A and B are shown apart, each in its own frame.
Chain A
Amino acid sequence: MSNELSLGKLFKNGIFGENPVFRLALSLCPAVAVTSGVKNGFLMGVAVLFVMTMTNVTVSLLRNFINPKIRIPAYVFITATWVTVIDQVMSAYQRAVYKEMGLYIMLIVAFAIILSRAEMFASKNKLLPSFVDGVGMGVGFLLALVMLGIFREFLGKGSLWNVHILPAKPLLIMIMPTGGFFAMGLMMGWLNWIDRKFFGGTGGGGGGHH
C-alpha cells in the first residue's frame, strides 16, 4: 500500500490536511509557550522537525526488530535519544534562546504527535515514506509556530524577528501568557472559518485528541 501513496501527497498531508497544531490539535503546549517571538517559534519548529524526522526514520529502520509487545517504550526511548541530541546542540549554539525555552525543548520527548506518527505511520512503512511523513509533519508544525509567532510578536512588540517595525506596542498582552491562548483560539477559529467558507469543510473546531 505504501507504494501507491505518492510522496508529494504525503508531504502535503502533514502541512495542510493533518496539520499537527491546527487540525489534529496535538502538542499544543509548546505551540503556545514559545511563540511569543518569531525566532523562538522558528527554532522550536526546527527542533521538532529534526526529532520528528529522525524518530520516524529510526522507527522505520528498526520496525522488524522491535517486539510489538514493548513497542511503545521502545519508541519513547528512541525519541528521548534524539531529543537529548537536539537539547545538547541547542544549549551549545543557541545559549540565549535555550535559557528561555530549554524546558520546552526537553519536553519534546512527551509530544503526542511524535509518538503517534511513529506508532501509526513509521512502524508500518518503509524508510522513504516515513522520512517524508516526518518532514511533512515537522514542516506543518514549524509553519504553525511561525504563523503564531508572527501574529503575536507583531501585535505584542511591534517587531518581527527582533527587528522593530512599528514605533509603539499595539497590544502588549499578546506576548504575555494570556495572549498565547487568545492568539491560538483566534487562529483556530479563523482557519475553521476559511475551511467552511472556501473549501466546504465542516470546520468544527479541531480534534479532541490527547
Chain B
Amino acid sequence: MWQHVLTIFIASALINNFVFSRYLGLCIFFGVTKRMETAIGMSFTFTAVMLVEAVLNWAIYNYVMTPYHLGFLKIVIFIGTVAAFVQAADTIMKKVAPALYYKLGIYLALIVTNCIILAVPLINADENYTLFESMGLAVGSGLGFSLALTIMASIREKLELADVPKSFRGLPISFVLTGLIALAFLGFSGMITL
C-alpha cells in the first residue's frame, strides 16, 4: 500500500505536474512568479491548504456523500468546504499568528477561486483514493506546484534584463518559456507507469 502512495506522490509531483502537464493553476502561476519571495510564500500556503482540504473532503465524500448518494453535488460541496476552511483559517491566523498572517494572508484570499485547490478533492473522488493516497496526491501536487513556481520565478527574474520583441513582452514570452520547461518535464513521463 505504501508503495502505491509513493507512486502517486511522485507521479503527481513530476509526471502529472499540475502546471506543466495538467495545465492547472495557470492564473496563479503567471500572476505570482514575478518575484521569488511571493512565489515561495504562495507555495507554502498552497501545499498546506491542499493537504488539509484533501483530508477534509475525503472524509466528507466517503462518510457523507457516498452513503447518501450525493456524489452529483460534489462540485457545490467541495467549493463550499474550501471557502469555509479558507475563511476559518484567515480568522484564526489573524488572531493566533499575526506575523504569519501578514506574510501569507493575501494569498489565502486568492485560494477560494483557484482551480488547483479544487482539483485535488475532485481527482481523489473520481479515482476513489484511500485516505493516505489522497494525502499523497495532495502533498505531491503541492510540492510539484512549488517546484514549478520556483523554476518560473527564477527564470523570470533573469528575463527582466532580456531584450524581448515588443509584441512578446509580458505574458506571451512567459507562455513560450513555460512550454520549454514543460518539454523538459516530458522527460519524466517514462519514469513510472500508473
Interface residues of A (CB under 8 A from B): 25-30, 32-33, 72-73, 76-77, 80-81, 83-84, 87-88, 102-103, 106-107, 109-112, 115, 173, 176-182, 184-186, 188-190, 192-193, 196, 203-206, 208-210
Contact = CB atoms under 8 A, between A and B. Distances in A.
B91 interface: no
B110 A210 contact: yes
Contacts of B20: 177
Given A106-B122, A112-B113, A73 B172 contact: no
Contact of B112 (A76, A84, A196): A76
B158 interface: no
Given A103-B126, A181-B178, A76 B79 contact: yes
B76 A81 contact: yes
B73 A84 contact: yes
A182 B179 contact: yes
A206 B30 CA distance: 11
Nearest to A32: B23
Contacts of B72: 84, 88
Interface string B150-194: 000000000000000111111111111111101100100000000
Contacts of A193: 167
A179 B21 CA distance: 11
Nearest to A179: B179
A44 B50 CA distance: 26
Nearest to B186: A178
B27 A112 contact: yes
30 contacts: A25-B30, A29-B23, A33-B23, A72-B112, A80-B76, A103-B122, A107-B24, A107-B118, A107-B122, A110-B114, A112-B27, A177-B23, A177-B186, A178-B179, A178-B183, A180-B23, A181-B182, A184-B175, A185-B177, A188-B175, A189-B165, A189-B167, A189-B168, A190-B167, A193-B167, A203-B167, A205-B168, A205-B170, A208-B171, A210-B110
Interface of B: 20-28, 30-31, 72-76, 79-80, 83, 110, 112-115, 117-119, 122-123, 126, 165-180, 182-183, 186
Nearest to A80: B76
A178 B184 CA distance: 9
Given A73-B83, A83-B75, A210 B167 contact: no
B82 to A, nearest CB: 9
Contacts of A182: 175-176, 179
Given A26-B27, A177-B21, A196-B166, A185 B172 contact: yes
Nearest to B178: A181
A11 B11 CA distance: 44
A203 to B, nearest CB: 6
A209 B110 CA distance: 12
A132 B65 CA distance: 37
A181 B148 CA distance: 14
